[in-house]
Structure 1
Amino acid sequence: MKKLKEMLSIVLSAASLFGASLPAYAPSNLVEEVITTYIPMSIMNQSTKYVALGDSITTGYGLENYNSNDVKNKTSEKSFVTKLSKKIGKEAVNLGVDGIDSTRLLKAITKPSTADEKEIIAQIEKAGVITISIGGNDVFMALAEVLNDKLGKDKNLFNANKQDILKVTMDLIFNKSAKETLKNNVIKATRTFTGDKANNEEGNFASIIREIKELNPGAQIVVNTIYNPYDIQFASFCNEAIETINAKIISDSENGKNYLVADVYSAFAKARKGTILVNADTGKTFDPHPTAKGHEVIYTVIASVMQNNTLPYSIKASISNGKLTHSVFEGEVHFKVTPDKGYKIPKNISITIGNGDKTIIALDSNGTAVIPIADVGADMVVSGICD
């Protein structure tokens, strides 16, 4: 994209040298106008590259045989990045960085100083699809730093046992000063991400999106909302910070005009009890990273929003005297049965997912049934009879 801009600039400059004058109403950013107005998006988006930006959720931290120094492991078969790459038929370039927050990501794409950061710029310019998973570390690094400090040498939230973590957590609950410091740090980090309208501060997130779109106006961008790995009752401000960050991600999308939003938060929040999407769900660790099942759900949410809010799996529908449609939103799959003229909505439908057992689900008076998106991870068969 940078080369395209340079070429257009040269052409326009050459035209002026040979006596061609631009109209008085020509915009100051004429090169950008030419690119976005006269070059079809279908051409701009034909790149065979899929670039994944973000933190350790993007890298696949915690998946089987994970090694932070092994770049190849970023293409783990269980990673949402690999699954999405196969689905959309584009080569995955995983540029996730463990521990990165919005400040570091913004710095990498605006003031690259290392070879890795310069590579991020180069790959963004080549991308046809870009996914972004950022914001979790903005909130939880503040929490992790406090708890890790209390855990002591060689221990952290990821490797300490549950008893040690509960002990330092209880200490924090009754330490008013430490809790207030943590709260202020989380609020400050959240404001850095979202910006402050009152003071006309843009915030890291809006800056990241703007910079990426300037580097590559034609790429399809999908931004994940951030999930809550644990409901922190003693620190409700952490939960509020997640909601604030997600609200910013959703509002800035302008209903999909600016970028698509993959509502990972809702998909995780609405999963059935007992579904292990995060390592912390096992009760044995405080590790906030997604399990293989969690990555599957993230993939499903992203792929669904990329294909007009429909599942990326085949659905074999067998509805006698009627038809079946479905849509995905707010972390759930909504099935709707519409009977043919003269027939009634059935009381229920049966759903078989992959090689699983058949499940009977009741329909409401409108012919709608809802299941968590976390229940879906394979092709399915749906059947019913309209009497």
Structure 2
Amino acid sequence: MKAENSQNKLVRIVPNIAPCRKILSIMKIRMVWKYAPSREEIERGEKNPEERARIVKESLEKWKKTGNEVNRKIDELFEKIPAYQERLKTENLQDIREDMLFCYFTYGFEPDEYFCFQLEEKSAVDRRRYISTRQRTTYRCRMNNIIDASLFNDKMKTYDRFREYFKRDAISIDSEADFDTFEDFVARHPVFVKKAVYLAQGTGVSLENIENCGKSRREYFDEMLSKGKYILEELITQTPEMAAFNDSSVNTIRAISFLTRDGVEVPYCTLRTGRPGSFVDNAGAGGVQACIDYETGTVVSDGYDEIGGVYTCHPASGTVFRGYKMPEWDDLKRLINEAAESVPLTKFIGWDFAHTQNGWVIVEGNENPNVIAKQMIIGEGMRPVFDRIMKNMDLII
């Protein structure tokens, strides 16, 4: 189980004052860009295959552990993506591998981002318009007070801060002293959601049933406690309007909010749906996503997954994506504004919302949210959009 990361430990001991916030952000940005060669080298690498090969070779020699990890991810991608599997029948894809490594070390694109954004076919200018994982982290460090934003890195702290918007029961399991609380919780909610506190993107999330787990409550608790810190949540029951896409997963809205000098702006809004038998809706877990017009709450694209599939209808239910109207949309927009404005020093937040009989509820928040889906769906990068919005923000740096 992934433990609390070093950054979370650091922010607990650093004073929450402007100079310290700025120093933390600068340190983080320098750390994530440590792999990148100079701009001049990158430009030469984009124009000259031999220069690109040299950059990759030297980067792999200098950053061996990182290079091995990226190559492992590339191997997994080649095995997972049908288009690559087909090409491997006649090609060895060495040029693609080299370009993926080049894009990782120079721009910070993960291999899955390279595929989703079709960077193989993009010019250097177009590549720089996309937001990579590394560029996203840079934005986050410029917009968010890392110290305040740490509340989003612990799911229980997030729940406590936004309790009124969660509208459901939740507890934290962190020590032996929590056993009585656990017993009371499972008595009320024998079927519940278990989440690892420090994980994201659908990892560490499972649907549990205490009555058919094959263990006593004591055994279940002890085993869970031995693996780390968890939050247990009352199960969300979504409305038929949202279950229409896939009823085995809680289908959600992902909205990324920016708190500007003029209020909240939401340039990124997607519908996230799961697959049959899957409890989570993340694209990384096989889910299908579509873009939503934030002003109207209407789906305006087909559905996309992250292995190259495009769907006019959801593959499980046949529900058509384009034109589907989300329920009680004005209520959700009000909720986003209220939640975003309540944390003024965390200006860049990804929110996941579910629709229930009690209206819209927060599923979770993320202060460094993934921005793959919309860029993948619209086929163009969102750096110009983010850069425009940031000009109207009071930044950390």
TM bucket (normalised to shorter chain) is under 0.3
**If the length of structure 1 is used for normalisation, what is the TM-score?**
0.25
Q: Output the TM-score relative to the length of structure 2.
A: 0.25
- Work out which of the two has the higher radius of gyration on C-alpha atoms and give 1 or 2: 1
Which one has more relative contact order, counting CA pairs under 8 Å at least 6 apart? 2
